[in-house]
Structure 1
Amino acid sequence: MLGKAYLTRQASLLVKFAKTTSDAELSAKLMSKAADLKSQADPMPDRDQGPKAPDVAEVENAASGNPITRS
C-alpha cells in the first residue's frame, strides 16, 4: 500500500505539471488525477501521529525494567 506522504507528493507534482502546460485538456486530466490521489491520501493517518513518541516509549520501558538498547 502506498503511503500518505507519497500520494500527497505525487498529487502536488501533478498540479505543478497541470499549471505548466498550455493544453487545457491535459491540464484538466492532470488535475483530476491529482484530486484522485489526494482523496486516497486524506483518510490515511500521518506516519508520525503514533500513540506515543519513540523517546517516551523508551523511557517508560526502561522504568518498568525493560531496558532498550540502541544499536
Structure 2
Amino acid sequence: MVGRLYVKRQAAFLLKFARATSNPELAAVLVEKAADLKAQAEPQPRAEDKSPVAPDVE
C-alpha cells in the first residue's frame, strides 16, 4: 500500500500543475484526479456491524 504522505504530495502536485496550465479541460481532469487521490489518502470509516445480536438472557 502506498503511504498517505506520498498520495497527499501527489495530489498537491496535480493541483499545482492544474493551476499552472492554460488548458481548462486538462485542469479539470487534474483536479478530479487530485480529489480521487485525496479521498484515497483519507482513512475510510469502519462499517458498523449489522449482524444480529443475541438477546440478553438471565
Same fold (TM over 0.5): yes
The residue that corresponds to 1:32 in the other structure is 32
CA distance in 2, matches of 1:23, 1:3: 30
TM-score when scaled to structure 2?
Answer: 0.73
Alignment gaps of 5+ in structure 2: 45-58
Aligned length: 44
Give 1:18-57 correspondences, 5 Å limit.
18-43=18-43
1:1-42 deviations in whole A, cap 9, x for unaligned? 101000000000000000000000000000000000000001
| Structure 1 segments of 4+ aligned residues over 2 angstroms from their partners | none
Cα RMSD (Å): 1.0
Q: What letter matches 1:37 in structure 2?
A: L
Higher RCO, 1 vs 2 (CA within 8 Å, ≥6 residues apart): 2
Identity of aligned residues (%): 57
